[in-house]
Amino acid sequence: MDNRRVKKGASVTTRRMIAYIVLILVTFLCLFWFYVLFINATRGHSDLTRGFTLIPGGFALKNWDSLMHSSQPVLLGMRNSLIISICTAVLSTYFSTMTAYAIHAYTFKIRNAMFTFILAVMMIPTQVVALGFIQLMGKMKLMDTYIPLIIPAVAAPATFFYMKQYMESALPMALLEAARIDGSGEFRTFNSIVLPLMKPAIAVQAIFTFVANWNNYFTPALVLTTDNKKTLPILIAQLRSADFLKFDMGQVYMMIAFSIFPVIVVYLILSKHIVGGVAVGAVKG
Amino acid sequence: MKKKIVSIILTAAMTTSLLAGCGSSAGDTAAPAAAAEEASTAEGAAPAAAAEETATAAEGAAPAAADEGSVLNIQCWNEEFKSRVTDHYPGYEKVNDTTGKIGDVTVNWIITPTDDNAYQNHLDEVLPVNESAAADDRVDIFLVEADYALKYVNADPAVAMSMDDLGIAAGDIADQYQYTKDIVTDANGALRGLSWQACSAGLIYNRDIAKDVLGTEEPAEVQEFVKDWATFNKTAEDLKKAGYFVESTVNDSYRVYSNNVSKPWVDGTTVQIDANIEKWVADSKALVDAKETNTYELWSDDWNKGFYPEGKVFAYFGPAWLINFCMAADTEGSVAYDGRWGLCVGPQSFYWGGTWICGAVGTDNPALVKDIMLTMTTDKAVLREIVEKDSDCVNSPSLLAELAADTTFGSKILGGQNPYQQLADGAEKVDMSNISDYDQGCNESFQTAMKDYFEGKVDYDKAISNFQTSVKEKYPELSF
Amino acid sequence: MDGGKKKKSNSNVVKYNKWGYIFLLPFIIVYGVFQLIPFVSTIYYSFFENYRSGLKQIGPNFIGLENYATLLSNADIWKYTENTFFMWILGFVPQIVISLLLAAWFSDPSLRLKGQRFFKTVIYLPNLIMAAAFAMLFFTLFADSGPINSMLVNAGFLSEPYKFMSNTWSARTLVGFMNFLMWFGNTTILLLAGMMGIDTSLFEAAEVDGATAGQIFWKITMPLLRPIFVYVLITSLIGGLQMFDVPQILTNGEGAPDRTTMTLIMYLNKHLFNKNYGMSGALSVILLIITGILSFAVYKFTTNQETN
């Protein structure tokens, strides 16, 4: 039997070798940019105008110091970014799972229409709605608050679609029937049975949502006007449009490095869930 | 007028205490603020109040200080003006990074970055409805750049207060360069903004290359080799033979040509291309084809290369701030570090940069706005401080003349040359009467479209049609 | 089984199904307020001449379909559609190939790859950098006299620096490459999450029956992966049609050279930037129709295959 396998496909050792080579190449491609960023964050401004090197400069502490003493409320910015990103990640995954569950588990009149509708609106680019959105927020007196940045996360069509697709392969209806027979309320079933089963999908989408909101410049820049409420990407943009007297690319790179650090931490925490995985589809089998 | 003098004396007194406060820790902004605080506890809001009384006495039109709002909102896109006011405006106390106090008035700095047009979008939202906003939310001062100044100056209904409405007489601002006024003068001739900077510019050349190829490094003699475009292009050939680029990119000289047009970009609603702009295209195409220069974007890493001897760039076109802050003067091995740049007038006079202060229509602090505008742009003691502390080239012919006459001053970066005479002469010759509301958009679109032509990707007609498409996107009301 | 139950407890099912509405409620309310109202106003404005000139508001004047006529009669919009599509393909093809490969390797128990945690973690990292910062880095590296060029010249591959940003295909390839780098980790994670939902006993059974790795992949993994695969394809297509930040920053928003890297959203952004509500409304609707048709086609195509 083993002989047959060797004849039919490439041997496991060869395939393993190829896999490792590709993985190492890919790893290089992925980490190189972080290296460049790190190098640039350790170099002074005029040193940077000179072009690119592979050796770190001696300006790391100075850049860090000028970042901490710049007029930008960097630490507040990080707090604000954290608040918005965590809230959106939680709201988006919880309610998208709920929406997906509604479509997946129940048969009701507007179910198919709703599904098609959500798929259709997924295609609307954010830019299209932005102007109307800002005007509306102005009328609702919600400008310069976090509400327009956090609450809309409840309705995230793309996250919903993923959850729905995932449920199809991982959430057996039989399990829900069993829960009903045991007398569990619908809401409790959702919270105590569906959510845990959806954990890998939730972890994936939580990361995506967190990162997307962490890096989002477009909407926050339109909504937030008070310095102490601004998020990191706006502060980076502000740092970049600083006047020539205070313009310091070393500081900008340090700030970019500083701002991706928490994302990496969050990512590393959540990646455990993805990599570890949860046994799904057990009932289906 | 007497009261005015009092206020100037007070200003001077404050200035002294400010400078004393600065003392050893020049870079620390907290120190002067603290000093100002000490000083102002004694005098209280004296300068501002005094100035406002002056206004009442002199003009009789401006409201008394008591009627003024308690919050002054200033819209800007970076820290520049904030640091100028913090450092130099008498009686300004820093509360925190985005607020301050002038007497009893709280000053709010509302900073919106320019990225993605965010700053202008923000102004467009707040300015038209400024008069109907709650008193404390109203914009009192907003800053503009030359590129889009006319958009706000020519707005109908007006969003920037005219000098008449502010109570600023022509005599108050006589000692300012005409071009700085042209940029913020509306279609009916009313002046609606002031600047403390005069960013006249010149040709900044590499002294070593000049010596090598032209046989001299003296500004007056080098000027002979670049005195008009024909000579400039001839010199470019010689430089090329010796292995040098005459300028880093064709975009370096664009500003020089476009500042010297004989008709504005837009006449009524028709876009027209000036002969001098066409000359830029022809000259630049020849330079690029002969590999005497490149097509880099300004501020790109490629463009920077000439800041170092290895870049082999003969000259940049730029103002004082480019020389002082952008040419890597503190990096060992750069041309600026070795003090090997020189400054001459170049083929044509032009300017680059500058920030204008406008009083917003609807402000509830007109007297304070007036005082800030006058103090920051006309008070010679303040302007001199700005020159000394911030190295801005200030908007005062008489002060620049004094600086030019100062034989003890020499710029280290320029190899000991005193640039103020050239800068003052240049500023005198800049003529910005041919600007239009559409300059920023047209200039950007034109340079982008022509880049493809210079690089041989498209022919001239296609480049012009790309320019037209791009302008139509920006300004649907225009035609060709 | 389901049918039988439904018959027995019909009233119960109805009672349960009202929960469908309840669970949908948060989505409907939030979507309606924060997205639908602004979106409807966008469509509404597409029938008007409505823009800002300086601070002056022109319009709104009702002009019917004139905005649409202007847009569609011009060849530009088709050119930008083509640009967008080319750049999407240049990023998506390598992305899906590499992602499928990696996901298959990671989930293949017979390979027993070491350091999986590390590799899985690393491939997603590029997505964490802000697109703006990432494009800034690329811009520096691929500049005319940047490190990539000086390396190629020094190694003798080129006689003079290659202008990456000034040539259509190199500029498009760079955009595609950046999109690939930023998104392939994301796609791998999605596919992997899908593959982990597959019962491992299926693989074991197939192995016992003597199937090759390739056979297992095509006959077992792919069909079971279809729902996630459809999701990846459709979101990537939509993401591709909405491609904006990378080419915007790499070309200073001009789509250089000769507007050959100008994407549809960059074009839309130009109208939005100039506050041309009418034109951008019309363009949005056209964009929506294009996206709708494409997504529908993909969805139908892939689900049809499934029923076969």
Tell me which chain A residue has its CA closest to the CA of residue B390.
A245
Residue A244: what pLDDT? Answer: 57
- Could you tell me if B112 lies within 8 Å of chain A, comparing CB atoms? yes
The minimal CB distance from B79 to the residues A218, A225, A242 is found for A242
- Could you tell me if A105 lies within 8 Å of chain B, comparing CB atoms? no
Helix axes C37-45, A126-139, angle to 10 degrees: 110
Helix (H, G, I), strand (E, B) or coil at C284: helix
Domain map (residue ranges) of chain B? 2-198+357-395, 200-352+410-474
Tokens of C296: 């529908």
- Could you tell me if A131 lies within 8 Å of chain B, comparing CB atoms? no
- In chain A, which residues have their Cβ closer than 8 Å to the Cβ of C194? 166, 169
8 Å CB contact between C259 and C40 = no
- Could you tell me if C259 lies within 8 Å of chain B, comparing CB atoms? yes
Tell me which chain B residue has its CA closest to the CA of residue C74.
B469
Of A64, A34, A58, residue with least CA distance to A44? A58
Provide the chain A residues 172-201 that lie in CB contact (below 8 A) with chain B: none
Q: Do B111 and A240 touch (CB under 8 A)?
A: no
Residue B50: what pLDDT? Answer: 45
User: Residue C78 pLDDT more than 50?
Assistant: yes
Q: How far is the alpha carbon of B369 from chain A, nearest alpha carbon, in Å? A: 22
What is the CATH T-level fold of the domain B200-352+410-474, as seen in this structure? D-Maltodextrin-Binding Protein; domain 2 (3.40.190)
What is the CATH T-level fold of the domain C74-307, as seen in this structure? MetI-like fold (1.10.3720)
Pairwise CA distance, residues B361 & B162, whole Å: 9
Q: Do B79 and A221 touch (CB under 8 A)?
A: no
Residue C5: what pLDDT? Answer: 43
- CB neighbour list of residue B360: distance below 8 Å, 6 or more residues apart: B75, B127, B130, B138, B139, B140, B141, B142, B159, B160, B161, B369
User: Residue A151 pLDDT more than 90?
Assistant: yes
Residue B44: what pLDDT? Answer: 41
Q: How far is the alpha carbon of A51 from chain B, nearest alpha carbon, in Å? A: 7
Provide the chain C residues 127-166 that lie in CB contact (below 8 A) with chain A: 127-134, 137, 140-141, 145-147
CATH assignment of B2-198+357-395, given 3.40.50.2000, 3.40.50.410, 3.40.50.10860, 3.40.190.10?
A: 3.40.190.10
Q: Do A49 and B304 touch (CB under 8 A)?
A: yes
pLDDT in tens, A5-33: 444 456 788 888 999 999 999 999 888 88
- Could you tell me if B461 lies within 8 Å of chain A, comparing CB atoms? no
8 Å CB contact between B387 and B403 = yes
- In chain B, which residues have their Cβ closer than 8 Å to the Cβ of C145? 301-302, 305
The minimal CB distance from B297 to the residues C51, C146, C252 is found for C252
Helix (H, G, I), strand (E, B) or coil at C49: strand
Tokens of B313: 């760039």
Helix (H) or strand (E) holding B201: strand B200-206
Of B479, B452, B448, residue with least CA distance to B254? B448
- Rg over alpha carbons for chain A, rounded to the nearest Å, is 24
- Could you tell me if C78 lies within 8 Å of chain B, comparing CB atoms? no
Could you tell me what percent of chain A has a pLDDT over 90?
Answer: 18
Q: Do C193 and A200 touch (CB under 8 A)?
A: yes
**Higher pLDDT residue, B56 or A160?**
A160
Helix (H) or strand (E) holding B105: strand B105-111
Pairwise CA distance, residues A191 & A197, whole Å: 10
Band the pLDDT of C238: cuts 50, 70, 90. confident
- Kindly tell me the sign of the dihedral angle through the C-alpha atoms of B445, B446, B448, B449: positive
The most confident of the ranges B246-260, C157-171, C231-245 is B246-260
- Could you tell me if C168 lies within 8 Å of chain A, comparing CB atoms? no
Pairwise CA distance, residues B204 & B218, whole Å: 12
Helix (H, G, I), strand (E, B) or coil at A212: helix
Q: Do B331 and A221 touch (CB under 8 A)?
A: no
Helix extents (H) in B127-274: 146-153, 163-166, 178-182, 207-209, 219-225, 229-241, 250-258
Residue C202: what pLDDT? Answer: 81
Residue C302: what pLDDT? Answer: 67
Q: Do B476 and C279 touch (CB under 8 A)?
A: yes
Average pLDDT of every residue of chain A: 81
- Could you tell me if A240 lies within 8 Å of chain B, comparing CB atoms? yes
Q: Phi then psi for A205, rounded to 5 degrees?
A: -70, -30
Q: Do A233 and C132 touch (CB under 8 A)?
A: yes
8 Å CB contact between C197 and A281 = yes
User: Residue C98 pLDDT more than 60?
Assistant: yes
Q: How many helices, marked H, and strands, marked E, lie in chain C?
A: 15, 2
Q: What is the DSSP letter of B211?
A: I
Residue B37: what pLDDT? Answer: 40
One pLDDT digit (tens) per residue for chain B, 480 residues: 344 444 444 444 443 333 333 333 333 333 333 333 444 444 444 444 444 444 443 333 333 455 788 899 999 988 888 888 999 998 898 888 788 888 889 999 988 877 767 788 888 888 988 888 888 889 999 999 988 899 899 888 889 999 999 999 988 999 999 999 999 999 888 999 999 999 889 999 999 999 999 999 999 999 999 999 999 999 999 999 999 999 999 999 999 999 999 999 998 889 999 999 999 999 999 999 999 999 988 877 788 888 888 889 999 999 888 888 788 777 778 898 899 999 999 999 998 888 999 999 989 899 999 999 999 999 999 999 988 888 888 999 999 999 999 888 888 889 889 989 888 988 888 888 888 888 888 998 999 999 999 999 899 999 999 999 989 888 888 888
Interface test with C, best of B302, B358, B460 (most C CBs within 10 A): B302
Residue B56: what pLDDT? Answer: 40
- In chain B, which residues have their Cβ closer than 8 Å to the Cβ of C55? 124, 127-128, 151-152, 155-156, 159
The minimal CB distance from C231 to the residues A33, A133, A165 is found for A165
Residue C271: what pLDDT? Answer: 84
Instruction: Work out the average pLDDT over A145-153.
Output: 93
Helix H, strand E, coil C: the string for C217-252 is: HHHHHHHHHHHHHHHHHHHHHHHHHCCCHHHHHHCC
Pairwise CA distance, residues C287 & B360, whole Å: 40
Helix (H) or strand (E) holding B145: strand B139-145
**CATH of the domain spanning A67-276:** 1.10.3720.10
Pairwise CA distance, residues B390 & B355, whole Å: 14
Kindly provide the b/e burial profile for residues B101-126, where b requires at least 16 CB atoms within 10 angstroms of the residue's own CB: bbbebbbbbbbbbebbebbbbbbbeb
Residue A9: what pLDDT? Answer: 54
Band the pLDDT of A284: cuts 50, 70, 90. very low
Q: Phi then psi for C65, rounded to 5 degrees?
A: -95, 15
8 Å CB contact between B276 and B261 = yes
Pairwise CA distance, residues A215 & C249, whole Å: 15
- CB neighbour list of residue C238: distance below 8 Å, 6 or more residues apart: A122, A123, C291, C295
Pairwise CA distance, residues B28 & A198, whole Å: 54
Provide the chain C residues 241-270 that lie in CB contact (below 8 A) with chain A: 241-242, 244, 265, 268-269
**Per DSSP, what are the bridge partners of residue B367?**
none
Could you tell me what percent of chain C has a pLDDT over 90?
Answer: 15
The minimal CB distance from A98 to the residues C26, C125, C192 is found for C26
Beta strand B266-267 pairing with C56-62: unpaired
The minimal CB distance from B113 to the residues A46, A226, A241 is found for A241
Interface test with B, best of A65, A71, A136 (most B CBs within 10 A): A71
Q: Do B476 and C51 touch (CB under 8 A)?
A: yes
- In chain C, which residues have their Cβ closer than 8 Å to the Cβ of A263? 128
B257, HSE (Cβ side, Cα atoms, 13 Å): 23
The pTM of this model reads 0.80
Interface test with B, best of A40, A43, A45, A49 (most B CBs within 10 A): A49
Could you tell me what percent of chain A has a pLDDT over 70?
Answer: 87
- In chain C, which residues have their Cβ closer than 8 Å to the Cβ of A123? 238, 241, 288, 291-292, 295
